[in-house]
Amino acid sequence: MKMPYRIGVISALLFSLAGCDFLGLSSREPGEIPFDLVGVDTAACPMIMSIGNDRWNIDYFSFYLSEPELRIDGRWQRIKFKQTKWQTTDIALLKFHSLCSNPQDANDRIVLEASKELMQLSTSLRFKMSLPFDINHANPLTQPSPLNDSSMFWSWQNGHKFLRMDVSKVGNEEKKWSYHLGSVGCESDSAVRPPEKSCAFTNRVEFILPMTQLDTQLDIDVHVSNIVTQVNINEATSCMFDSPETKPCDKLLRNLTHRPWLQWQ
């Protein structure tokens, strides 16, 4: 007499484990890729990461991505971002530091305008941590979200901050350090005018992440501390829109371009 009950319970458990995927109603959209912070105490608020022997509060951490492409049958195919508060069709803004304190003002994922079938055919994902020149130096007063985020904007002349990281030392919050990356050496008549030609240092960082075909449940790990590897931020000056030829900006940019701080989970 108990057998039907047990079968019913088992069926209910299996259905529960399968979740919405069983109905084809997965909460993750095709082309949706979460970004997960690695080596960061996300239970703390502000979040904390270890650099060397010290612990640092992540007071601000955000970056723009642009120009997404998928490699299919050996050829790169340009795709768009799905238009949301955090994305236009061309760019996306990731913002992590406020996940714990103000999740409404945080974003930890991108969503590509790509079907499940297209994602399954892809062998690589390519994008840049930057903004295209015409978008970067467009009129800041008419920019759509998320380009109208003033905390990620420097000046009309220099454009936006492609990456912004501000940290303070745990237990000694007056000790602060910042890295703001954007284009530098941009010449125009004034700071409130866009440059007429490309800047001396565009500081665009490209990423190519190989993919396994048929795998559509993808996450990207963000190893925040790798950005400052071999840079003693206890002693080094902050790097905020300085030439990448000066210290420690030269090392920081090499870390962005050569160290695997963004990689598949």
94 and 179 within one domain: yes
Question: Are 140 and 17 part of one and the same domain?
Answer: no
Tell me which residue has tokens 């399954």: 120
Same structural domain, 11 and 107: no
The domain tally of the chain equals: 2
Residues 118, 10 share a domain: no
**Mean pLDDT, to the nearest integer, of 109-114?**
97
Q: What phi-psi label fits residue 158: left (phi over 0), alpha (psi between -120 and 50 degrees) or beta? A: alpha
pTM of the prediction? 0.88
The answer to whether residues 232 and 215 belong to one domain is: yes
* In the predicted structure, residue 12 carries a pLDDT above the cut 50: no
Outline where DSSP puts E strands in the chain: 32-38, 40-41, 48-51, 54-72, 75-78, 91-95, 109-111, 124-129, 153-155, 159-160, 163-169, 172-181, 205-210, 220-223, 239-240, 262-264
Does residue 60 sit in the same domain as residue 80?
yes
Judgement on whether residues 19 and 127 belong to the same structural domain of the protein: no
Mean pLDDT of 231-259: 95
- If asked whether residues 144 and 18 sit together in one domain, one would say no
CA 246 to chain centre: 25
Please tell me the predicted confidence (pLDDT) of residue 27: 79
Domain span at 60: 31-264
Q: Is the pLDDT of residue 31 over 90?
A: yes
pLDDT at 23 over 70: no
86 and 178: one domain? yes
The token pair at 226 is 């790798």
**Residue range 18-43: average pLDDT?**
76
CA-based max dimension of the chain: 87
String of DSSP letters for 10-34: HHHHHHHHHGGGGGT--SSPTTEEE
| pLDDT of the residue at 72 | 95
Q: What's the whole-number mean pLDDT along residues 125-151? A: 95
The string of pLDDT tens digits covering residues 159-189 is: 999 999 999 999 999 999 999 999 999 998 8
Regarding whether 88 and 141 lie in a shared domain, the answer is yes
pLDDT of residue 25: 45
User: Are 11 and 127 contained in the same domain?
Assistant: no
